Amino acid sequence: MIKKIIFKTLCALLTISILLSIPFSNVRAEGEETAPTPTPTSDLITQEDMQTALLSEQPTDRPEVNGQAFALYDATSNSYILGENIDTPMEPASTTKVMTVLMAFENLPMDQIITITPNMYESIPDDYVKLGLVEGEEISVQDLIYASLLVSANDACLSLAIAMGGTEAEFCNMMNNKAQEIGCTNTTFTTAYGFADPSNLTTAHDMALILNCAISLQGFSDISTTLQYTIGPTNKYDDSRTITNANRFVSTQQYSYEYYVGGKTGFTDTAGHTIVAAATKNGRTLIGVILGSSDSETRYANLISMFDYCFQNYVTTPIDDSEFSGIYSDTIARIQELIVDYNIVVTEQSIDVIDYITTTTARSSIGSTNKVELSNIIIDPNSEDQEFNIPLYRTYADNRSYIIGYIHVRITSKDKVIEVTPDKKTIWGTLKDILITVIVIVGLGLILIAALLFFRKKNMKRHENEFRNRSKML
């Protein structure tokens, strides 16, 4: 008997798994009606690998970059398109200020007045750029942010840091926590403004994420793309101070770039020339990072070349759940059909896909096919509760496949499913039946009492009439 049960179970599992192994697809590319089912090969890109997948396809005609490390990041799809040594920790110099200003936007009101103390400027080397803040000076957060971004004033940036953290060291702890929150993996800040410190390190990968977070905040792009700003008189300065943006994307015609939306440059002898910048075109944002460049001017030209190259040669496409409505409904129907004869049923189902995908313009132009892969799904007809994440693939004509989402299915035993049917009463249904029964019994009782009273009265009247008739006879 036990052998028969085991044999039947194995047969059921084998039948369901064989039937599910037959793939089906939703064809998107014109002229293509079928495409091979993706298999685990080097051409298959998982969601975990999608962020950096394009880095393994570095084209031979990409722009040359003067830098020890660089990255070109598509913020719309969270993908790195071009890059070298993107995870190598390096000194960022004054691009460190992007994180400090980012946190000032999040933690300090723009109109808050900060009173300058000596520890906000005394530790800064004499040859570093300063606004010239003095002890006791009262100045707004907004003025300090403008000075930090436009002229890289180190005393302004350090003042913001100490206003938030109390000390620079404590603020650096806050910076590192924020870096982890953003998704940075190899960043350790030991200075709030970019002091030349070999332990103050980040990567091209992480710096792109930091700027992406910064430009998402209202005001950052407006300030970092401002050509000139005037700081009004303070209690220590009778005259206004006008500052001009030192970033050549803003201050020169030679490197003016119409799609530029913000960024920061930096330099120290140990870090070399550094730059991080963002460009937005047709709703798509790219972020470029160069660390360890040997030339100040070249970093601007390199970024412009990378921006133009990636806007032209890579495309970012939105993905909507509706693209998979047919595949989704067919998959659920197929599973339900296969388990109909067993004591199990689909109790949960959902679909989840990524928002955007970035690939080469050439690959995108030849079309793609959306598919679902069921060959690895084995349903146990005797299991009381089982869940599956069924991968959704987008396969291009060059056989490059991406897992762009999942269909989630939960299958449970029918015995665990709560059904409200005429044969299965709820508590309210039972109470309702009892109440009706009581009402019927009370009603019948009242009718019976009324009938008894009626007949009693009738009998009494009959007896009274009989008594009267006898009296007359006497």
Burial class (CB in 10 A: 0-12, 13-18, 19+), 446: exposed
pLDDT of 448 reads 74
pTM of the model: 0.80
The answer to whether 246 touches 265, Cβ cutoff 8 Å, is yes
What is the average pLDDT value for the chain, to the nearest integer? 87
User: Over 90: is that where the pLDDT of 444 sits?
Assistant: no
pLDDT at 106: 98
Provide the pLDDT for residue 182.
97
Helix (H, G, I), strand (E, B) or coil at 388: strand
* Range scoring the smallest mean pLDDT among 15-29, 84-98, 357-371, 406-420: 15-29
pLDDT in the model for residue 442: 73
pLDDT in tens, 9-20: 444 443 444 345
Band (429; pLDDT cuts 50, 70, 90):
low
What does the pLDDT read at residue 438? 72
Task: Determine the average pLDDT of the residues in 255-278.
Answer: 98
pLDDT of residue 12: 47
Q: What is the pLDDT of residue 205?
A: 99
Token pair, residue 7, equals 């044999």
Q: What value does the mean pLDDT take over residues 67-96? A: 98
DSSP H helical ranges for 237-349: 248-251, 296-313, 325-339
Residues 6+ apart with CB under 8 A from 349: 332, 407, 408, 409, 410
**Continuous segment of H or E residues that includes residue 451:** helix 427-473
> Which residue matches tokens 């496949």?
401
Q: What pLDDT score does 376 carry?
A: 83
The tokens for 57 are: 């396809």
Asked if residues 366 and 383 have their Cβ atoms less than 8 Å apart, the reply is no
pLDDT of residue 195: 97
Please tell me the predicted confidence (pLDDT) of residue 420. Answer: 37
Walk me through the domains of the chain, giving residue ranges and CATH numbers: 2-49+319-416 (3.10.129), 67-294 (3.40.710.10)
Cα 462 from chain centroid? 93
Better-predicted residue by pLDDT, 415 or 351: 351
**pLDDT band at residue 466 under the 50/70/90 scheme:** low
Comparing 324 with 473, which gets the higher pLDDT?
A: 324
Percent of the chain beyond pLDDT 90?
74
How many angstroms from the chain centroid is the CA of residue 210?
Answer: 15
87, 186 contact by CB (below 8 A): yes
pLDDT digits (tens, 9 = 90+) for 308-342: 999 999 999 999 888 999 999 999 999 999 899 89
